[in-house]
């Protein structure tokens, strides 16, 4: 039998204030609502903001792993999984704050639905506005709309991988959640494995949920668990390199699951989109809206995206 009912894994990178709020809300939720027998593991991807010291000082029961390098999201979670001895595992971003009994609600849902291998909750922006937390698997149309939005109404449409907002009022089967908050069973990890470490950042949860579904489990969303999500806190620190990582990860996902032909079509769309954005950046520079340094930064990023 596992030593714990639940293990919570948080991968952190230079988000000390958000991490402190995340762990404070998490510990409070577990103490009030359970499950009481839980372990919390923080993997620090070589932060320089004092995150590990803060965790040890403020949360002495939390296990802190410092691999000494930035492993990325997938590999860091896998490193923590080696320490896990629990019946269930919650993957939680450091820029989240669980509200009330959110963790217990996710556990109850998984316990009550034996066909479900992964469940996520309702994500909210810090002002408690609605945030999309469930998505369809990627398509060519979604790749196109990333670069050529056409109409703002399509941003939240099925064509762009979104579920209709009215569906978020009730539990539903989904393709995959946003990776900010996902609860799974130890049995799922044992059979499917951890995250594909070929994904440094982005798409690792998409890949993993597709593997979970192919192994015979369902992936669900429940509105009973609410989580505040300060979207993109880590990725904003290096926006250009993260955009490059996003498209590298998508290319890897497409080639792995959809085949070379699909991936090549998506790559051509990315090239056209990058070229279009580069021309727009040059126009902005000519109008004096951005300086030469910013122009060169954007062009460098877009050149890498379009390769």
Q: pLDDT tens digits, residue range 180-229? A: 999 999 999 999 999 999 998 889 999 999 999 999 999 999 999 999 99
Is the pLDDT reported for residue 48 higher than 90? yes
- The hierarchical CATH code for the domain 4-234 is 3.90.550.10
How far is the C-alpha of 162 from the C-alpha of 164, rounded, in Å? 6
Is the pLDDT reported for residue 53 higher than 70? yes
How far is the C-alpha of 215 from the C-alpha of 13, rounded, in Å? 32
Three-class secondary structure of residue 271 per DSSP: helix
pLDDT at 59: 98
Q: Which helix (H) or strand (E) holds 275?
A: helix 260-286
Kindly indicate the confidence band of residue 169, based on its pLDDT and cuts at 50, 70 and 90.
Answer: very high
More reliable by pLDDT, 201 or 4: 4
How far is the C-alpha of 305 from the C-alpha of 307, rounded, in Å? 6
For the segment 80-86, the average pLDDT, to the nearest whole number, is: 96
pLDDT at 217: 98
Q: Where in the chain is the domain with CATH 3.90.550.10?
A: 4-234
Query: Hey, how many other C-beta atoms are within 10 angstroms of the C-beta on 259?
Result: 10
Average of per-residue pLDDT values in the chain: 93
Is the pLDDT reported for residue 80 higher than 70? yes
The pair of structure tokens assigned to 115 is: 């066909």
Q: What percent of the chain has pLDDT over 70?
A: 97
Is the pLDDT reported for residue 239 higher than 80? no
CA distances from 265 to 72, 255, 261 (A): 27, 11, 6
Three-class secondary structure of residue 96 per DSSP: strand
More reliable by pLDDT, 3 or 53: 53
pLDDT at 247: 85
pLDDT at 232: 62
Query: Hey, how many other C-beta atoms are within 10 angstroms of the C-beta on 71?
Result: 21
In sequence order, what are the beta bridge partners of 107? none
Is the pLDDT reported for residue 6 higher than 70? yes
Kindly indicate the confidence band of residue 149, based on its pLDDT and cuts at 50, 70 and 90.
Answer: confident
Query: Hey, how many other C-beta atoms are within 10 angstroms of the C-beta on 237?
Result: 12
Nearest to 40 by CA among 66, 2, 18, 7: 7
Least confident of 9-23, 90-104, 207-221, 286-300: 286-300
Give the pairing type, strands 63-65 and 38-44.
parallel
Nearest to 200 by CA among 243, 249, 235, 236: 249
Query: In this structure, are residues 303 and 274 in contact, taking their beta carbons and an 8 Å threshold?
Result: yes
Least confident of 85-89, 184-188, 274-278: 274-278
User: What global pTM score does this model have?
Assistant: 0.92
pLDDT at 286: 93
């Amino acid at each position: 039998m596992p030593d714990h009912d639940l293990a919570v894994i948080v991968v952190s990178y230079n988000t000390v204030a958000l991490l402190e709020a995340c762990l404070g809300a998490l510990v409070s939720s577990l103490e009030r609502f359970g499950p009481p027998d839980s372990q919390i593991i923080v993997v620090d991807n070589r932060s320089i903001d004092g995150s590990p010291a803060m965790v040890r000082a403020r949360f002495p029961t939390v296990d802190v792993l410092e691999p000494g390098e930035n492993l990325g999201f997938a590999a860091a979670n896998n490193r923590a999984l080696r320490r896990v001895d629990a019946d269930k595992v919650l993957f939680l971003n450091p820029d989240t704050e669980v509200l009330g009994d959110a963790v217990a609600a996710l556990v109850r849902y998984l316990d009550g639905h034996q066909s479900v291998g992964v469940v996520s909750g309702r994500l909210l922006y810090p002002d408690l506005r609605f945030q999309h937390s469930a998505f369809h698997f990627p398509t060519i149309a979604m790749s196109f709309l990333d670069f050529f939005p056409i109409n703002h109404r399509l941003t939240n449409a099925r064509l762009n991988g979104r579920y209709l907002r009215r569906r978020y009022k009730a539990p539903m089967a989904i393709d995959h959640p946003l990776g900010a908050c996902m609860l799974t069973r130890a049995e799922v990890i044992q059979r499917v494995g951890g995250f594909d470490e070929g994904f440094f950042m982005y798409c690792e949860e998409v890949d993993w949920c597709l593997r979970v579904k192919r192994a015979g489990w369902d992936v669900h969303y429940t509105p009973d668990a609410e989580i505040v999500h300060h979207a993109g806190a880590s990725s904003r620190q290096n926006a250009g390199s993260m955009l490059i990582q996003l498209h590298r990860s998508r290319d890897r996902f497409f080639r792995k699951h959809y085949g070379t032909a699909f991936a090549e079509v998506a790559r051509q769309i990315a090239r056209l989109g990058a070229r279009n954005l580069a021309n727009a950046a040059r126009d902005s520079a000519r109008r004096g809206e951005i300086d030469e340094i910013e122009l060169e930064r954007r062009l460098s990023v877009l050149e890498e995206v379009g390769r």
